[in-house]
Amino acid sequence: MKLSNYFLPILKETPSEAKIKSHQLMLRSGMIRQSASGIYSWLPLGFKVLKNIENVVREEQNNAGAIELLMPTIQSSEIWKESGRYDDYGKEMLRIQDRHERDLLYGPTNEELITQIFRDNIKSYKNLPLMLYHIQWKFRDEIRPRFGVMRCREFLMKDTYSFDIDQAAAELSYKKMFLSYLKTFEKLELKAIPMKAETGPIGGDLSHEFIILAETGESEVYLDKNILDIETKNLDYSIESVNGIIEKYSKFYSATDEKHNKDDFNQIKKNDQMHTRGIEIGHIFYFGDKYSKSMNALINNNEGKNINPQMGSYGIGVSRLPAAIIEAKYNDEFMKWPLSITPFKVAILNLGKNGDEADQKSLEFYNLLCNLKLEPLLDDTSDSPSSKFKNFDLIGIPFQIIIGSKLKKDEYEFKEIGKDKKILSKDEIINFLKEAYKIDQ
């Protein structure tokens, strides 16, 4: 993409309504614009990041054996009346009437709908276990939206639902998701810590929140530092690995303030005690037959008896993640996106003038990178070099190729954000990028 053809409205100044760095940065770098309190438009740059995150999440759901489908944003009130949540959910649910004065709602979550789909189509234990998920916009009419996309009313969520024949099988599904969450957040370069959680209005008794540490986080958290050292890089979905995963974490103390227990916490060595804040980026629940029972979802077990399947649900706040990642990775001078989700893989800063050598070198390099699927963003505007430097440090594309008039024919300045500039040849840069992004050719 050439910047001269792109839509990237960068703000030099910070809008006064943004109070935390992720919100400020997302506004300044032209990722989002607010439409109403807690409701945002995603501009091209932000949209790319969002879609890339969505894909990382999707890929790992698929690896875990979950199957993607898509349910609507608007739901009928009927099924919510069946489960009893039409009244329980309260004012957070946005209720709508159509022209026939039928009661509809903008879905805040999808347990009812997925249970309906399940009960209408699955009748036998032979079809279990089953994990279904979708990535869809939700609406919760929060009392107080804040912090940009971190806590908004309309948000994109990945929600998975598991159906199993009995509790033991359901716990295995739960552990699978637990593991897939660790892998997902690992790919996003986030250190996510699972913590035992309250189950809230969704109900049930086995539940974990996945939290990343950040001073601006909304939850207070207490933990044993050693939990941060648990290795998540080489996890696989073997039965041993899945079965052991929760135990690995339960060896070390970690809790949000709701579940915090002072006595337990004080048994940790003083040096290992950590009290800080965190951002919740995922939440998983096992809730048994809460919905399958109230909504009369029945399957035949291997004795020919009708039973209610055991269910769980597993959410990841996809639209919250860009902000959470910024909170975790921005260091007051520059932003560097994780390679797995960066909006462009490499930036080319053309410091030359129309038609001069640097300009030509930039275009050639640009075309080459496009052909290699290294998705470059070329700054071909006539802005001053210094303004280009500032803009690109703000946007956070991990690598920059800087092409000015200083260097010889096959010399280019190459910078990885946060590190010193190097002078490299074209081939060296391309090999480096191919390796960084694991592109073979």
Site residues for RNA per CB under 7 A: 10-17, 19, 28, 34, 36-38, 92, 140, 142-147, 151-153, 155, 157, 200-202, 209, 218-219, 280-283, 315, 317, 319-320, 351, 353, 382-387, 389-391, 393-394, 402-407, 413, 415, 421
- CA distance linking residue 293 with residue 257, whole number of Å: 32
Cβ 315 to RNA shortest distance, Å = 5
Cβ 419 to RNA shortest distance, Å = 11
Q: Which is nearer to RNA, 6 or 389 (CB)?
A: 389
CA 86 to chain centre: 28
3-state secondary structure of 80: helix
Q: Which is nearer to RNA, 80 or 414 (CB)?
A: 414
Q: Which is nearer to RNA, 171 or 218 (CB)?
A: 218
Q: Which is nearer to RNA, 105 or 402 (CB)?
A: 402
- Rg (Cα) of the chain, in Å, rounded? 24
DSSP state of 304: S
Cβ 13 to RNA shortest distance, Å = 4
- Tally of CB atoms within 10 A around 372: 16
Cβ 262 to RNA shortest distance, Å = 18
Cα three-residue angle 433-439-441, rounded to 5 degrees: 105
Neighbour-count burial of 408, counting CB atoms closer than 10 A to its CB (0-12 exposed, 13-18 middle, 19+ buried): exposed
Cβ 273 to RNA shortest distance, Å = 23
What residues have CB less than 8 Å from 236, skipping those under 6 apart? none
Q: In what order do the strands lie in the sheet with 74-76?
A: 74-76, 103-106, 94-97
* DSSP letter string, 310-327: EEEEEEEEGGGHHHHHHH
Cβ 12 to RNA shortest distance, Å = 4
Q: Which residues of 271-284 are buried (b: 16+ CB within 10 A; e: fewer)?
A: eeebeebbbbbbbb
Cβ 10 to RNA shortest distance, Å = 6
Cβ 360 to RNA shortest distance, Å = 14
DSSP state of 343: S
CA 308 to chain centre: 32
Q: Which is nearer to RNA, 142 or 243 (CB)?
A: 142
Q: Which is nearer to RNA, 279 or 369 (CB)?
A: 279
Q: Which is nearer to RNA, 308 or 342 (CB)?
A: 342
Q: Which is nearer to RNA, 165 or 348 (CB)?
A: 348
Contact between residue 405 and residue 358 where contact means Cβ atoms under 8 Å apart? yes
